[in-house]
């Protein structure tokens, strides 16, 4: 499975997913645009870093839609929705953890790399996500790599990242 992050406008992006075992998907517009590090890219990286094979992208790799994606090249039919709902019911157990980690890591990255103030909720969020300072420091280099790539992507251009585990 390959995930493509496409800059579609001045402050807009889309996420496309190419799968071998199920139809290709798109989420456009995707939520949480950021010029340095879009929200769904942070999801991808925290799932990869923490080995969450059943988060947002893990559910997509299992044939689901994470509740946000739609078929790339076909209309969303009633049959497709039913099939996807069944697949979603059997996967996605780590989506909540992925959300927590994405929030914590984006805040930490913005604080450390961009010099933004730490959000008031950060300590509580890190505790609830069961993430230590050492854990956050371990993930920052991976976020740096994709942020550096994303910052060079112009409107209409994209960058792709392969999902590290097999589709299910």
Task: Indicate the pLDDT class of residue 79, thresholds 50, 70 and 90.
Answer: confident
Task: Indicate the pLDDT class of residue 145, thresholds 50, 70 and 90.
Answer: very high
pLDDT of residue 81: 76
Helix/strand/coil for 129:
coil
Q: Are 24 and 71 in contact (CB under 8 A)?
A: yes
Q: Please name every residue paired with 15 in a beta bridge, in sequence order, or none if there are none.
A: 5, 27
Task: Indicate the pLDDT class of residue 88, thresholds 50, 70 and 90.
Answer: low
Give the rounded percent of residues in the chain with a pLDDT score beyond 70. Answer: 98
Does position 153 have pLDDT exceeding 70, yes or no?
yes
Average pLDDT for 92-98: 89
Average pLDDT for 41-61: 96
> What single-letter DSSP state applies at residue 53?
T
pLDDT of residue 48: 97
Instruction: Supply 131's token pair.
Output: 């993430």
Does position 109 have pLDDT exceeding 90, yes or no?
yes
């Amino acid at each position: 499975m390959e995930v493509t992050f496409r800059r579609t406008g001045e402050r807009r992006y889309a996420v496309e997913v190419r799968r071998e075992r199920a139809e290709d998907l798109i989420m456009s517009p995707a939520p949480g645009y950021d010029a340095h590090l879009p929200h769904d890219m942070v999801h991808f990286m925290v799932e990869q870093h923490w080995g969450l094979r059943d988060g947002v992208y893990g559910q997509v790799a299992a044939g689901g839609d994470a509740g946000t994606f739609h078929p790339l090249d076909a209309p969303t039919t009633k049959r497709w929705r039913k099939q996807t709902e069944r697949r979603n019911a059997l996967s996605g157990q780590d989506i909540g953890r992925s959300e927590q980690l994405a929030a914590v890591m984006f805040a930490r990255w913005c604080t450390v790399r961009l010099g933004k103030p730490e959000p008031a909720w950060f300590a509580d969020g890190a505790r609830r996500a069961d993430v230590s300072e050492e854990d956050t420091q371990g993930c920052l280099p991976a976020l740096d790599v994709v942020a550096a790539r994303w910052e060079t992507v112009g409107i209409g251009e994209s960058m792709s990242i392969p999902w590290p585990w097999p589709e299910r």
